[in-house]
Amino acid sequence: MSDQRPLLEVTDLVKHYAVRGGVLRRRVGTVHAVDGVSFSVGKGETLGLVGESGCGKSTVARAVLRLVEPSSGAIKLNGTDITGLSKAEMRPHRRSMQIVFQDPFASLNPRMTAGDIVGEPLAVHGLATGRAQQERVAELFAQVGLRADQMKNYPHQFSGGQRQRICIARALSLGPSLIVCDEPVSALDVSIQAQVINLLIDLQRKNDFSYLFIAHDLAVVAHISHRVAVMYLGRIVEIADKSELFANPRHPYTQALLASVPVADPKAKRLAPMVDGDVPSPINPPSGCAFHTRCRYVMDRCKVERPALVEAGEGHQVACWLNDGTGRPE
């Protein structure tokens, strides 16, 4: 990386949703979906964003693309803050950021041919029409491992893995610098999952774009990411280089997440859940550190004061009072 400025810089991103109730639809509560999240993604880098359902990882993805309007915070793409831009001003930036969703059936128009789906962004942005568009689409099909003669087929004629390839081809069509992948392989079978992950890795090597890769599956994230951020109830609790995070997790939640993954080795039996209970509701998140209700190392301080994300080693940040000075649980 010659240019040190990150491609994407997210600062203090907040997204609250109003909960309305009663006849007058008055605001009766707030869902703290994303509650002050900051991170950056470098050029050609993959940042994995992991967390359990409801932790706000998908909201982060959508807010970065401005598919949902953030309540506050800044999102800088290539140095430009895109949060305040109007629809028309957004348009040129949309070319450089694309998304691949989880369910490849819900994100493909069933009445359009695969070729038209992949070619549509080219037409919308006035980049190619007619023959040129057809040729470009055929090229994209080849890149994602589909045959050009499949361009005239409809989504239902493809398998789940192939549909995800169509979504990837569509995302590639405009030559983006950032592709947000929101659980792109969790709907696929294991053997197909590997194919799609490999495809994503190969495409990145060839094109040098960045991924914001969102998943709940730690193994998948561990595989594809360069750096990983762990989210819990709308906040990032730990962020580090992949090898550092998995070898040396500092936050008790990250430790619990890692320990909960069933290991595919019968000799390493260890079905001992590290955390009890459920994730609290984001409508009334716990005070202080949001994880304190399930944390085995909880201290009085955790219940009142919210720990900030602080440096805990080379490129390793963690939001936990245990790491404040002492660095280790007792």
What does the binding site for another protein look like in residue numbers (CB under 8 A)?
Answer: 46, 52-53, 159, 161, 189-195, 197-198, 201-202, 204-205, 216-220, 222-226, 242-243, 245-247, 256-276, 278-279
Tell me whether residue 17 or residue 246 sits nearer to another protein (CB atom): 246
Buried b (16+ CB within 10 A) or exposed e, 58-77: bbbbbbbbbebebbebebbb
Residue 293 Cβ vs another protein, minimum distance, rounded to whole Å: 13
Tell me whether residue 118 or residue 221 sits nearer to another protein (CB atom): 221
Question: What is the Cα–Cα distance from 317 to 240, expressed in whole angstroms?
Answer: 6
Buried b (16+ CB within 10 A) or exposed e, 78-91: beeebbebeeeeee
Residue 244 Cβ vs another protein, minimum distance, rounded to whole Å: 9
Are the CB atoms for 33 and 193 separated by under 8 Å? no
Tell me whether residue 60 or residue 203 sits nearer to another protein (CB atom): 203
Question: What is the Cα–Cα distance from 15 to 32, expressed in whole angstroms?
Answer: 7
Residue 272 Cβ vs another protein, minimum distance, rounded to whole Å: 7
* H or E element at residue 28: strand 26-41
Residue 294 Cβ vs another protein, minimum distance, rounded to whole Å: 8
Tell me whether residue 14 or residue 197 sits nearer to another protein (CB atom): 197
Question: What is the Cα–Cα distance from 133 to 111, expressed in whole angstroms?
Answer: 19
Tell me whether residue 173 or residue 254 sits nearer to another protein (CB atom): 254
Residue 55 Cβ vs another protein, minimum distance, rounded to whole Å: 9
Give the pair of three-digit tokens for residue 160: 């789940």
Residue 18 Cβ vs another protein, minimum distance, rounded to whole Å: 21
Question: What is the Cα–Cα distance from 195 to 37, expressed in whole angstroms?
Answer: 32
Are the CB atoms for 99 and 182 separated by under 8 Å? yes
User: How, if at all, do strands 72-77 and 80-81 pair?
Assistant: antiparallel
Tell me whether residue 46 or residue 173 sits nearer to another protein (CB atom): 46
Tell me whether residue 85 or residue 201 sits nearer to another protein (CB atom): 201
Closest CA to 140 of 102, 106, 98, 103: 98
Residue 83 Cβ vs another protein, minimum distance, rounded to whole Å: 30
